[in-house]
Amino acid sequence: GEVNNEIIGTNINLGAQNLLGEAKGAFTGEISTAMIRDAGCSYVIVGHSERRQYFGETDETVNKKTKAALAADITPIVCVGETLKEREDNVTFSVIEKQVRDGLADITLQQASLTVIAYEPVWAIGTGKTATPDQAQEVHSFIRKIYAQMYKESAEKVRILYGGSVNPGNVSDLMKKSDIDGGLVGGASLEAESFTKLVKYSK
């Protein structure tokens, strides 16, 4: 709509926060891929931790939505991440592996290259806590390794973002890590000054 008109000719793209996993049908209140495209969006977030926690999203629904987005030429940003209890129980890697394998199953190699993955440790979202750059890199590297087992060379092309209390004070150290390709920014995007600093961070 209007926002899309304002960003035409820039390097800014629009994204949606959720979508319906069905191509068509009577699903009152849901957001279809056609609606997302009509609004000018080229990205959509799939399986955000809050969607999983509050709205019953599962790896299976994430997979369905990921495929629906890709079929409509919309780039999915697929979120994975562990809770505080899962990290304390030392099951982070098994949780992440299941989310990646099941949530991103059965897409083509080309689609696998175009997909975006966002690692968002649930314990660091909106809490002010942040995974250290080393903790984040460890998980990002693991995600790329699993993806390589699933989709071979696509693992080098897939973009893996970090999302978990990214702010102007930690963005540079996070982005220096070899497997962190960008940030999925939440709260810090609500204030123009902090978001501008994030966008214009320096390595």
Annotated catalytic residues are: 48, 120
Strand partners, 116: 77, 159
Alpha helices in 104-184 (DSSP H): 109-114, 133-151, 154-157, 171-175
Q: What angle do CA 31, 34, 37 make, to 5 degrees?
A: 100
Measured CA to CA, the distance from residue 69 to residue 76 in angstroms comes to: 6
Going from the C-alpha of 84 to that of each of 40, 95, 136, 180, the distances in angstroms are 36, 12, 14, 21
Measured CA to CA, the distance from residue 31 to residue 183 in angstroms comes to: 25
Place of tokens 């697929």: 78
Measured CA to CA, the distance from residue 95 to residue 118 in angstroms comes to: 14
Q: What angle do CA 46, 50, 55 make, to 5 degrees?
A: 85
Q: Give SS3 for 169.
A: coil
